Amino acid sequence: MKYVDEFRDPELAKTLLAEIERLLPKIKTTSQRPLQIMEFCGGHTHTIFRYGLEQLLPKTIELIHGPGCPVCVLPMGRVDDCIALAERPEVIFTTFGDAMRVPGSRKNLLQAKADGADVRMVYSPLDALELAKKNPDREVIFFALGFETTMPSTALTVLQAAEDNVKNFSLFCNHITTVPTIKAILDSPSMQLDGFVAPGHVSMVVGEEPFHFVANLYKKPIVITGFEPIDILQSLWLLIKQIAEGRCQVENQYARVVATGGNSPGLAAMASVFELRDYFEWRGLGSIDQSGVKMTEAYSHFDAEKKFSMPNLKVADPELCQCGEVLRGAIKPWQCQLFGSACTPETPMGALMVSSEGACAAYYNFGNLQEIMTLKEKSIS
Amino acid sequence: MCLGIPGQVVEIIDAAKHLAKVEISGVRRQISLACIVSDSHPIESCVGDWVLVHVGFAMSVINEDEARKTLELLMELGEAQKELEAMQSSEQN
């Protein structure tokens, strides 16, 4: 596939790994502890596991998996709200596929569907709008989630709905923002990160400027990165070069897709339709200020939270769940007491085992399971 | 959700609604070009563009120059490495 295959070239991978190996010993700290680089985005976590990149890297560099998986950080209470909406007889509840198996306190959306709720998987919010037009006697709700990456598509769909005067379409808005989350991680006293692999598709929308604070304020190097294995390896090389040369800057490795200023039409649509919430609840990370968006007054007739009542309860994770610690990068997935036993992709306890971008699912599906379970047993004993 | 996929714009379906047919891995799908059209890049000029598609929207026109530059840089790096290796391991007896 064009613009994909070239960035999976094993020869280029070898080149980059050789450069990384050459540079790492030049960084003094690596003699005492490995460099800790965080990839924020779930899509990056997925690539790292799918291509076994961590195993190819020297032990003097460690990859910490961040909480950038919007499905993984959905609190159980919000899933319960989805189910309450879906169970209304007049509602067609539409959602992206990976949200369907996230556990709520009683069941997930897929189970709600099996129990009779009209839950439908859509690829695009535009498909949900089409459903609304084709079913004028039903209320179509779109479960809008994702970071800034999917905000333009949701916003533009609302603008199209307004233009077409569609009355039976609304959003259950769970969009979250990247910058406050990265800031919360950087402010966390237990984190000792040396650099960031920045989310390439968030940046495609918001541009480079929102990430300047990481280099300017927190003095950490940060590289905006694409999603193929060569992209990630090149970013790690650029980060290591920065550290070796004592620089801390924002670099754009993904220039073929990311423009410095981001996506203007997308940003304009977002500014019309969304505004920041004062705070938003994140699974495992608690409440983060200004980390979520809600719909503006002008588009409140498309806001499911205004149109319908829902339980809106704060539900705590199951006691044994360690999703929060994995999301914060404090423990590796296999260090969770439930990993591989009570919690597997077939019987997930939390969203990290369900989402295609979740760190636990990635470890389970692509990691060497035998090796991981041995490590787990050793750490318990 | 972060997984965007490259495709090529093959024809405009509805210029007013910014809808086009985009071919992605051999499959043709209706995609919105609302995020990539502008006064300097009107919808008709999008035909033939390689775009990154994300949940039904073209989110960026793939900059072919930048793609080529990135790959060339890496290939040169590889060649420089091989040169260095050859220099260091060359037999001189």
Q: Residue B43: which CATH number?
A: 2.30.30.140
pLDDT at residue A95, as a whole number: 96
A14, A126, A152 member nearest B35 (Cβ): A152
- Do domains A5-38+52-66+179-252 and A76-177+261-307 share one topology? The answer is yes
- Alpha-carbon gap, residue A356 to A294, rounded angstroms: 26
Chain A residues within an 8 Å CB radius of B78: 11-12, 14-15
Mutual angle of helices A10-23 and B64-89, in 10-degree steps: 60
Share the mean pLDDT of chain B: 91
Chain A residue at shortest CA distance from B36: A265
Examine residue B44 and state whether it is found in any structural domain, yes or no: yes
Q: Is B50 on the interface with A (CB under 8 A)?
A: yes
Bridge-based pairing of strands A279-282 and A274-276 is unpaired
Shortest alpha-carbon distance between residue B10 and chain A (Å): 15
A3, A127, A269 member nearest B67 (Cβ): A3
Phi-psi region of A270 (alpha: psi -120 to 50; beta: other; left: phi over 0): alpha
Instruction: Classify A5-38+52-66+179-252 by CATH class.
Output: alpha beta
B57, B63, B74 member nearest A234 (Cβ): B74
Examine residue B41 and state whether it is found in any structural domain, yes or no: yes
Domain region containing B43: 5-62
Task: Report ipTM for this prediction.
Answer: 0.90
Copy the structure tokens of residue A292: 């979520």
- Alpha-carbon gap, residue A278 to A89, rounded angstroms: 32
pLDDT at residue A293, as a whole number: 96
pTM: 0.92
Instruction: Kindly state the average pLDDT of the residues A29-35.
Output: 86
pLDDT at residue A84, as a whole number: 96
Examine residue B83 and state whether it is found in any structural domain, yes or no: no
pLDDT at residue A373, as a whole number: 73
Q: Is B42 on the interface with A (CB under 8 A)?
A: no
Domain count, chain B: 1
The residue among A55 and A134 whose pLDDT is bigger is A134
User: Predicted confidence band at B2 (pLDDT cuts at 50, 70, 90)?
Assistant: low
Q: Which residues pair with A293 in a beta bridge?
A: A276
Examine residue B53 and state whether it is found in any structural domain, yes or no: yes
- Alpha-carbon gap, residue A142 to A124, rounded angstroms: 10
At residue A369, does pLDDT exceed 80? no
Chains A, B: CB pairs < 8 Å: 127
Examine residue B22 and state whether it is found in any structural domain, yes or no: yes
Shortest alpha-carbon distance between residue A174 and chain B (Å): 13
CATH topology assigned to domain A76-177+261-307: Rossmann fold (3.40.50)
Chain A residues within an 8 Å CB radius of B63: 255-257
Q: Could you tell me the residue ranges of all domains in chain A?
A: 5-38+52-66+179-252, 76-177+261-307, 323-380
- Alpha-carbon gap, residue B34 to B43, rounded angstroms: 9
**For the segment A62-92, what is each residue's pLDDT rounded down to a tens digit?**
999 888 889 888 888 999 999 999 999 999 9
The residue among B1 and A118 whose pLDDT is bigger is A118
Share the mean pLDDT of chain A: 92
